[in-house]
Amino acid sequence: MKKSTYFLLSFTVIFVFSLSAQAQNMKGKKVNHEFPELPYAYDALEKAIDSETMNIHYNKHFRGYYDKFLKAIEGSALEMLTLEEIFANVSRSNAAVRNNAGGFYNHAMFWTIMSPDGGGKPGPKLEAAINKSFGSFDKFKAEFEAAAASQFGSGWAWLSKDEQGNLFVSSTPNQDNPLMDDVAKRGYPILALDVWEHAYYLRYQNKRTSYIGNFWEVVNWPEVEKRFNR
Ligand code: MN
Protein backbone atom coordinates (compact mmCIF):
# COMPACT_ATOMS: atom_id res chain seq x y z
CA MET A 1 0.00 0.00 0.00
CA LYS A 2 1.26 3.48 -0.83
CA LYS A 3 2.02 5.69 2.13
CA SER A 4 -0.51 8.32 1.01
CA THR A 5 -3.25 5.72 0.60
CA TYR A 6 -2.49 4.43 4.09
CA PHE A 7 -2.84 7.90 5.58
CA LEU A 8 -6.07 8.56 3.72
CA LEU A 9 -7.48 5.24 4.93
CA SER A 10 -6.60 5.86 8.57
CA PHE A 11 -8.04 9.38 8.48
CA THR A 12 -11.27 8.00 7.01
CA VAL A 13 -11.50 5.34 9.73
CA ILE A 14 -10.92 7.90 12.51
CA PHE A 15 -13.46 10.30 10.94
CA VAL A 16 -16.19 7.65 10.67
CA PHE A 17 -15.59 6.50 14.25
CA SER A 18 -15.87 10.02 15.63
CA LEU A 19 -19.09 10.61 13.67
CA SER A 20 -20.71 7.49 15.12
CA ALA A 21 -19.57 8.44 18.62
CA GLN A 22 -21.20 11.85 18.16
CA ALA A 23 -24.44 10.29 16.94
CA GLN A 24 -24.51 8.00 19.97
CA ASN A 25 -23.98 10.98 22.24
CA MET A 26 -26.89 12.84 20.71
CA LYS A 27 -29.21 9.86 21.07
CA GLY A 28 -28.48 8.53 24.51
CA LYS A 29 -26.78 11.07 26.72
CA LYS A 30 -28.41 12.43 29.85
CA VAL A 31 -28.54 16.21 30.09
CA ASN A 32 -26.38 17.46 32.94
CA HIS A 33 -28.51 20.00 34.84
CA GLU A 34 -26.12 21.98 37.02
CA PHE A 35 -27.20 23.97 40.06
CA PRO A 36 -25.97 27.46 39.21
CA GLU A 37 -24.11 29.66 41.67
CA LEU A 38 -25.76 32.89 42.71
CA PRO A 39 -23.85 35.53 40.68
CA TYR A 40 -23.66 38.00 43.64
CA ALA A 41 -23.75 38.09 47.45
CA TYR A 42 -27.06 37.63 49.31
CA ASP A 43 -27.08 41.29 50.31
CA ALA A 44 -26.00 42.63 46.89
CA LEU A 45 -29.54 43.50 45.74
CA GLU A 46 -30.63 45.31 48.94
CA LYS A 47 -32.11 48.09 46.80
CA ALA A 48 -34.91 45.62 46.03
CA ILE A 49 -34.40 42.34 47.89
CA ASP A 50 -33.14 41.88 51.44
CA SER A 51 -30.34 39.47 52.26
CA GLU A 52 -32.43 37.03 54.33
CA THR A 53 -35.03 36.66 51.59
CA MET A 54 -32.29 36.11 48.99
CA ASN A 55 -30.60 33.49 51.15
CA ILE A 56 -33.80 31.50 51.84
CA HIS A 57 -35.07 31.94 48.27
CA TYR A 58 -31.84 30.66 46.71
CA ASN A 59 -30.84 27.97 49.21
CA LYS A 60 -34.25 26.59 50.19
CA HIS A 61 -36.85 27.31 47.51
CA PHE A 62 -34.62 27.18 44.43
CA ARG A 63 -32.62 24.19 45.73
CA GLY A 64 -35.90 22.44 46.52
CA TYR A 65 -37.18 22.86 42.96
CA TYR A 66 -33.85 21.66 41.57
CA ASP A 67 -33.73 18.52 43.75
CA LYS A 68 -37.38 17.69 43.09
CA PHE A 69 -36.94 18.27 39.36
CA LEU A 70 -34.08 15.76 39.20
CA LYS A 71 -36.15 13.28 41.18
CA ALA A 72 -39.22 13.82 38.96
CA ILE A 73 -37.32 12.98 35.75
CA GLU A 74 -35.13 10.22 37.22
CA GLY A 75 -35.23 7.01 35.19
CA SER A 76 -37.48 8.52 32.49
CA ALA A 77 -36.84 9.60 28.89
CA LEU A 78 -37.04 13.22 30.11
CA GLU A 79 -33.48 12.80 31.42
CA MET A 80 -32.31 13.12 27.80
CA LEU A 81 -34.11 16.43 27.22
CA THR A 82 -33.15 20.03 27.91
CA LEU A 83 -35.52 22.13 30.00
CA GLU A 84 -36.77 23.92 26.88
CA GLU A 85 -37.53 20.55 25.26
CA ILE A 86 -39.41 19.46 28.38
CA PHE A 87 -41.48 22.68 28.36
CA ALA A 88 -42.33 22.21 24.67
CA ASN A 89 -44.34 19.07 25.59
CA VAL A 90 -45.05 19.78 29.25
CA SER A 91 -48.82 19.35 28.87
CA ARG A 92 -48.09 15.61 28.61
CA SER A 93 -46.00 15.56 31.80
CA ASN A 94 -47.22 15.19 35.38
CA ALA A 95 -47.50 18.02 37.91
CA ALA A 96 -44.19 17.18 39.62
CA VAL A 97 -42.29 17.60 36.34
CA ARG A 98 -44.18 20.74 35.36
CA ASN A 99 -43.87 22.54 38.70
CA ASN A 100 -40.27 21.63 39.45
CA ALA A 101 -38.86 22.05 35.94
CA GLY A 102 -40.58 25.45 35.91
CA GLY A 103 -39.34 26.31 39.39
CA PHE A 104 -35.78 25.39 38.45
CA TYR A 105 -35.72 27.25 35.12
CA ASN A 106 -37.62 30.35 36.26
CA HIS A 107 -35.40 30.99 39.29
CA ALA A 108 -32.15 30.20 37.45
CA MET A 109 -33.19 32.85 34.92
CA PHE A 110 -34.40 35.28 37.60
CA TRP A 111 -31.00 35.39 39.35
CA THR A 112 -29.23 36.29 36.11
CA ILE A 113 -31.54 39.10 35.01
CA MET A 114 -30.75 41.00 38.23
CA SER A 115 -27.46 42.63 39.20
CA PRO A 116 -26.09 44.96 41.89
CA ASP A 117 -25.07 47.23 38.99
CA GLY A 118 -28.56 47.01 37.49
CA GLY A 119 -31.26 49.56 36.88
CA GLY A 120 -31.43 52.33 34.33
CA LYS A 121 -32.60 51.63 30.83
CA PRO A 122 -32.01 48.95 28.20
CA GLY A 123 -29.50 49.49 25.41
CA PRO A 124 -30.62 51.18 22.15
CA LYS A 125 -31.48 47.97 20.27
CA LEU A 126 -33.71 46.54 22.99
CA GLU A 127 -35.18 49.95 23.75
CA ALA A 128 -36.19 50.29 20.09
CA ALA A 129 -37.91 46.88 20.23
CA ILE A 130 -39.69 47.91 23.45
CA ASN A 131 -40.82 51.19 21.87
CA LYS A 132 -42.08 49.32 18.82
CA SER A 133 -44.17 46.88 20.89
CA PHE A 134 -45.35 49.14 23.74
CA GLY A 135 -45.04 52.73 22.50
CA SER A 136 -42.44 53.75 25.10
CA PHE A 137 -40.27 52.38 27.91
CA ASP A 138 -42.65 53.88 30.50
CA LYS A 139 -45.68 52.25 28.87
CA PHE A 140 -43.86 48.91 28.88
CA LYS A 141 -43.02 49.35 32.58
CA ALA A 142 -46.64 50.17 33.41
CA GLU A 143 -47.89 47.08 31.57
CA PHE A 144 -45.29 44.84 33.23
CA GLU A 145 -46.10 46.26 36.68
CA ALA A 146 -49.82 45.72 36.11
CA ALA A 147 -49.20 42.10 35.08
CA ALA A 148 -47.05 41.50 38.18
CA ALA A 149 -49.51 43.22 40.54
CA SER A 150 -52.64 41.55 39.18
CA GLN A 151 -51.33 37.97 39.01
CA PHE A 152 -53.70 36.39 41.54
CA GLY A 153 -51.85 34.31 44.11
CA SER A 154 -48.44 32.82 43.26
CA GLY A 155 -46.83 33.30 39.87
CA TRP A 156 -44.55 35.28 37.61
CA ALA A 157 -44.60 38.33 35.34
CA TRP A 158 -42.73 38.10 32.04
CA LEU A 159 -41.39 40.05 29.12
CA SER A 160 -41.01 37.66 26.18
CA LYS A 161 -40.21 37.61 22.50
CA ASP A 162 -42.69 35.91 20.16
CA GLU A 163 -41.84 34.04 16.95
CA GLN A 164 -41.96 37.25 14.90
CA GLY A 165 -39.50 38.91 17.29
CA ASN A 166 -42.15 41.16 18.84
CA LEU A 167 -42.16 41.68 22.60
CA PHE A 168 -45.13 41.02 24.87
CA VAL A 169 -45.92 41.05 28.58
CA SER A 170 -47.73 38.20 30.31
CA SER A 171 -48.16 36.59 33.69
CA THR A 172 -48.38 32.91 34.59
CA PRO A 173 -49.57 31.10 37.72
CA ASN A 174 -47.44 28.85 39.92
CA GLN A 175 -44.13 27.93 38.21
CA ASP A 176 -45.48 28.06 34.65
CA ASN A 177 -43.55 30.06 32.06
CA PRO A 178 -44.00 31.25 28.45
CA LEU A 179 -41.99 28.30 27.07
CA MET A 180 -44.69 25.82 28.06
CA ASP A 181 -46.80 24.40 25.25
CA ASP A 182 -50.15 25.14 26.88
CA VAL A 183 -49.76 28.71 28.19
CA ALA A 184 -52.05 31.44 26.84
CA LYS A 185 -49.23 33.13 24.87
CA ARG A 186 -45.98 31.37 24.06
CA GLY A 187 -42.61 33.04 23.61
CA TYR A 188 -39.00 33.15 24.75
CA PRO A 189 -38.77 34.91 28.14
CA ILE A 190 -36.18 37.69 28.44
CA LEU A 191 -37.24 39.33 31.74
CA ALA A 192 -38.94 37.71 34.72
CA LEU A 193 -40.27 38.79 38.10
CA ASP A 194 -41.15 36.30 40.82
CA VAL A 195 -44.32 37.46 42.57
CA TRP A 196 -44.71 34.51 44.93
CA GLU A 197 -45.00 35.80 48.50
CA HIS A 198 -41.77 33.96 49.38
CA ALA A 199 -39.98 36.39 47.05
CA TYR A 200 -40.89 39.54 48.99
CA TYR A 201 -42.97 38.94 52.11
CA LEU A 202 -40.25 39.27 54.79
CA ARG A 203 -39.50 42.85 53.77
CA TYR A 204 -42.64 44.05 52.02
CA GLN A 205 -45.44 42.00 53.62
CA ASN A 206 -48.61 42.77 51.67
CA LYS A 207 -47.04 45.64 49.70
CA ARG A 208 -46.33 43.74 46.49
CA THR A 209 -46.41 46.97 44.45
CA SER A 210 -43.43 48.41 46.41
CA TYR A 211 -41.44 45.26 45.66
CA ILE A 212 -42.38 45.53 41.96
CA GLY A 213 -41.37 49.21 41.89
CA ASN A 214 -37.97 48.52 43.48
CA PHE A 215 -37.29 45.64 41.08
CA TRP A 216 -36.41 48.16 38.30
CA GLU A 217 -33.41 49.28 40.40
CA VAL A 218 -31.72 45.90 39.98
CA VAL A 219 -32.70 44.79 36.47
CA ASN A 220 -29.63 43.56 34.59
CA TRP A 221 -30.47 45.05 31.16
CA PRO A 222 -27.34 43.74 29.39
CA GLU A 223 -28.39 40.19 30.33
CA VAL A 224 -31.99 40.85 29.22
CA GLU A 225 -30.63 42.15 25.91
CA LYS A 226 -28.46 39.04 25.55
CA ARG A 227 -31.60 36.93 25.83
CA PHE A 228 -33.39 39.21 23.37
CA ASN A 229 -30.59 38.67 20.84
CA ARG A 230 -30.67 34.89 21.11
MN1 MN B 1 -39.46 32.01 44.00
User: How far is residue 84's CA from residue 213's CA, in Å, rounded to a whole number?
Assistant: 30
Same domain, 180 and 210: yes
* pLDDT tens digits for range 164-184: 999 999 999 999 999 999 999
Tell whether the torsion through CA atoms of 50, 55, 61 and 63 is positive or negative.
positive
Of 79, 112, 145, which marks where a domain is finished? 112
What pLDDT band is residue 21 in, cutting at 50, 70 and 90? Answer: very low
Q: For residue 99, what are the domain limits? A: 52-112
User: Which phi and psi angles does 190 have, rounded to 5°?
Assistant: -120, -20
Contact 137, 144 (CB under 8 A): no
Give the Å distance between the CA of 68 and the centre of ligand 1: 15
Determine, yes or no, domain membership for 107: yes
Of 112, 139, 156, which marks where a domain is finished? 112
| Region 129-133 average pLDDT | 98
Residue 1 has pLDDT above 70, yes or no: no
Contact 208, 151 (CB under 8 A): no
Amino acid identity, residue 23?
Answer: A
Comparing CA positions, the residue from 106, 142, 107, 122 lying closest to residue 220 is 122
CATH number at residue 83: 1.10.287.990
pLDDT at 45: 98
Residues lying with their CB under 5 A of ligand 1, a single-atom ion: 194, 196, 199
Residue 25 has pLDDT above 90, yes or no: no
pLDDT at 28: 74
Determine, yes or no, domain membership for 17: no
Give the Å distance between the CA of 57 and the centre of ligand 1: 6
Q: Is 218 helix (H, G, I), strand (E, B) or coil?
A: helix
pLDDT at 77: 97
